[in-house]
């Protein structure tokens, strides 16, 4: 399909399924009760239901806890890791990283210098493997995309290879996993393979228990009930 034909197909599918939200973003992260993002200028922002409220920053990566708190963790441009507290302020935690995955109090992970690390309450414990992207869910789920695009799920302290390949990944629960592919398609995990979610030119992805969110190459924000 040519570029213009594909663009028309994308717009047609969006009209019936994907809803554009106001604003622009460079990253998105969804929790059970909140949607957060990073603006094109690096500011941390929270979706209010009708627009975006600025909540600090700057940040390069963001992940929202998949437990009931829906509190974000961020990685700043210098690699320092901060988390939002129940009291409201941001608090720096130990260590540095390039990506963050907040699945909950005992299931938060980062990609740091030389590998994959899991939060132990006061610091980071190294795990095996290497990854380019990491995402974690509410029930102990953690998935990675390795530097070659291969997709793995953590199972019994080992990495289990899954079908397909990806560029970005998001996890809400064992049955709620989404990826983007190298050809900028969005997919939802079926339990054994990936189901395409047509109609969006996706470079980044986020997911909660009811919705999938995608960013297109221009930073536009799209929401799908799926």
Q: How confident is the model at residue 187 (pLDDT cuts 50, 70, 90)?
A: very high
- pLDDT reported for residue 39: 97
E strands, 68-219, are 72-75, 80-84, 90-96, 99-102, 108-112, 115-119, 124-127, 133-136, 142-145, 150-155, 158-165, 168-173, 176-180, 186-189, 194-196, 204-207, 211-215
Check if the beta carbon of residue 64 is closer than 8 Å to that of residue 34: yes
The whole-angstrom separation of Cα 160 and Cα 143 is 9
- pLDDT reported for residue 1: 43
Q: Output the average pLDDT for the chain.
A: 92
- pLDDT reported for residue 142: 97
| End-to-end Cα spacing for the chain | 26
Q: Please say if the pLDDT value at position 199 is more than 80.
A: yes
Q: What is the pLDDT of residues 85-116, one digit of tens each?
A: 988 899 999 999 999 999 987 899 999 987 99
Distances (CA, A) of 151 to 4, 71, 81, 88: 31, 26, 25, 35
The whole-angstrom separation of Cα 89 and Cα 110 is 21
Q: How confident is the model at residue 8 (pLDDT cuts 50, 70, 90)?
A: very low
More confident residue, 67 or 35: 35
Q: Please say if the pLDDT value at position 136 is more than 50.
A: yes
The whole-angstrom separation of Cα 165 and Cα 122 is 33
Domains of the chain: 3-225 (2.130.10.10)
Across the chain, how many H-helices and E-strands are there? 1, 24
Question: What mean pLDDT comes out for the span 165-191?
Answer: 97
Q: Please say if the pLDDT value at position 191 is more than 50.
A: yes
Cβ density class 87-109: b for 16+ within 10 Å, e for less: eeebeebeeebebbbbbbeebbb
Question: What mean pLDDT comes out for the span 52-60?
Answer: 96
Q: How confident is the model at residue 158 (pLDDT cuts 50, 70, 90)?
A: very high
- pLDDT reported for residue 9: 47
- pLDDT reported for residue 68: 65
Q: How confident is the model at residue 7 (pLDDT cuts 50, 70, 90)?
A: low
């Amino acid at each position: 399909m040519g570029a213009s034909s594909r663009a028309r197909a994308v717009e047609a599918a969006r009209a019936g399924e994907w809803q554009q939200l106001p604003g622009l973003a460079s990253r998105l992260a969804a929790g059970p009760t909140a949607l957060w993002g990073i603006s094109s200028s690096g500011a941390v922002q929270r979706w209010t239901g009708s627009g975006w409220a600025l909540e600090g920053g700057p940040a390069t990566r963001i992940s929202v806890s998949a437990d009931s708190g829906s509190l974000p963790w961020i990685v700043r441009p210098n690699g320092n890791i901060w988390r939002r507290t129940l009291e409201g302020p941001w608090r720096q935690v130990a260590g540095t990283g390039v990506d963050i995955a907040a699945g909950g109090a005992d299931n938060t992970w980062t990609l740091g210098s030389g590998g994959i690390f899991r939060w132990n309450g006061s610091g980071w414990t190294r795990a095996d493997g290497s990854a380019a992207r990491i995402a974690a869910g509410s029930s102990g789920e953690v998935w990675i995309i390795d530097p070659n695009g291969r997709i793995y799920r953590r199972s019994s302290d080992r990495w289990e290879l899954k079908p397909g390949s990806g560029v970005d990944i998001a996890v809400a629960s064992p049955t709620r996993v989404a990826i983007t592919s190298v050809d900028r398609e969005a997919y939802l995990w079926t339990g054994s393979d990936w189901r395409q979610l047509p109609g969006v030119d996706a470079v980044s992805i986020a997911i909660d228990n009811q919705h999938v969110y995608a960013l297109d190459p221009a930073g536009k924000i799209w929401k799908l009930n799926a």
